[in-house]
Structure 1
Amino acid sequence: MTTAHDYSYGIDPEHALKYAIQHHSGGRTEIVEGVISTMAPSWDHENAAEEIRDQITPRVKELGCVTGSGNLDFPKSSNWYVPDLAVAPKELARGGGALLPDQTLLIVEVTSESNAETDRVVQRKRYAEYGAPLYLLVDRMDKTVTLFAGPGRLGYTEVDGPHPFGTPVRLPEPFGIDLDTSGL
C-alpha cells in the first residue's frame, strides 16, 4: 500500500511542481504557499514597474547587473515567485535557471487588487526569510512605497515607509539613488 508521502518512485513533489511550472507554455506563473496562479498584469501595473526600472537602470549597469522578472526559487518550500522586477548580478542571470532571493540586490513587487495582501504580507515574509537584501513594495491600492531591508528568518528589521506616491525614496548602497515616486 502506498501512502501520500511514499517517494519510492523517486518523485519529489516540490521538484515536480516547480518543474511543471517552469515547463508549461503560457504567461507568468508562480506558486505562492502552494497555490498556483498565472499573472496578467494591467498596463498601469506594468507602468509602475517600468518607472522603477527606468530610474535604476543606469546604476544597475554600473554595478554589472541586469533587471528582469525572472523566476525565483525558494528551496524546501512550495514557493516559486516571478517578481515584477528584480536586480541580479549579470553572471548569475546567465545561468539559465531560477535564482534564489539572496542572489538578488533588489526585488520590487507592485500590488494589484487581486494580490495586494500577498505582496504586503506573504511575499515580504518569504523574501526576508530567504535573504533578499532589499524589497521595495509599490502599493497601488494605498498609493504608497515602502522599502524593506535587513532580512532575517523573522522578517525585515528595517522599514522605510510607507511613503505616499510623490515622496522620494532612497535606495541604499549599492544603489545610492533616490527614486522619484510621482509617476507610480
Structure 2
Amino acid sequence: MSALPGGERPYSSVDPEQALKYAIQHHAGDRVQIVEGVIEPMSPGWDHETMADDIRYQLFGKVREMGCVMGAGDLDLPGSSNWYIPDIAVVPRALSKGGAALLPDQTLLVVEVTSDSNADTDRVVKRRRYAEYGAPLYLLIDRQDRACTLFSEPGALGYTRAVGPLPFGEPIELPEPFGLRVDTSGF
C-alpha cells in the first residue's frame, strides 16, 4: 500500500471530497469553484460585475445596519463535491472572521448573476443545492432572460416559494430581515 509523502497515512485513507476542496483552496492564482465535481474558473466580465455591484449598492446600508457583511466568500456544501463562490452572500459579521468557508444555511441571502457560460448552473443546480443546504433566500438575476426571481422557504426537495420571474424594471421585494425593495430598472 502506498503512503503519502512523509509516510503519514496510506493513499486509500484520503477523502476525495476533502482532497478536491483542499486543492482548489490552495490553487495558486485564479479563484475556482466546484459545481457537481467539475472545477470552474471564476472570471466574470464587467457587465456581470456591474449588475452585482448594483445589487451590493442597494443592499449596503441595510446589511451594515443588520451587523452583517456581504461578499463573494467561499461556501462549502459538505458531503458533496460542491464548493461555491456566489456573486454575493450576506452573512453575519461574526461568522466572517477566521477565513473558513461558510455553509449556505449560515447566509441570510445568496445572489447569483447568470453568465452565458453558466446560466443553467445558476438556474437549476445552484438553486437546488442552495435549498438543500438551507440558504434562506436565493436571488437569481438572470441576465439572459432579463428577469429576477427570489426563492425562499428551502427544503430537501428545493425552494417551496418563488417570486418571479419578474422582468427587469419590476422591483423585487426582499422579505425580513431585509425588508427592502430592490430596484431593477437599471439592469
Aligning the two structures, in what range does the TM-score lie when normalised by the shorter sequence?
over 0.9
Q: Counterparts of 1:167 and 1:28 in 2: how far apart (Å)?
A: 33
- Number of residues of Structure 1 aligned to a counterpart in Structure 2: 180
- The answer to whether the aligner puts 1:91 opposite 2:101 as a matched pair is no
Residue 159 (structure 1) aligned to one of 150, 162, 165? 162
Amino acid aligned to 2:149: T
Question: TM-score scaled to structure 2, two decimals?
Answer: 0.93
Task: Tell me, yes or no, if structure 1 residue 61 matches structure 2 residue 40.
Answer: no
Given residue 133 of structure 1, which amino acid in structure 2 is its aligned partner?
P
RCO (CA 8 Å, sep 6+): is it higher in 1 or 2? Answer: 1
Q: How much is the aligned-residue C-alpha RMSD, in angstroms?
A: 1.3
Counterpart AA for 2:34: I
Question: Per-residue displacement from partner, 1:9-40 (whole Å, max 9, x unpaired)?
Answer: 43111111000100112222000000001021
Give the secondary structure class of the aligned counterpart of 1:57: helix
Q: State the 1:8 CA deviation.
A: 4.5
TM-score (normalizing by structure 1): 0.95
1:56-87 CA distances to partner (integer Å, 9 max, x unpaired)? 11000011000000000000100000000000
From 116, 120, 140, the equivalent of 1:117 is: 120
Deviating above 6 A after TM superposition, structure 1's stretches of 4 or more consecutive aligned residues are none
Gaps spanning 5+ residues in structure 2: where?
A: 3-8
Alpha-carbon distance, 1:182 to partner: 1.2
Q: Secondary structure of 2:135's partner?
A: coil
Q: Which residue of 1 aligns with 2:134?
A: 131
| Matching residue of 2:48 | 45
Question: Are residues 1:181 and 2:172 paired?
Answer: no
Percent of matched pairs sharing the same residue: 66
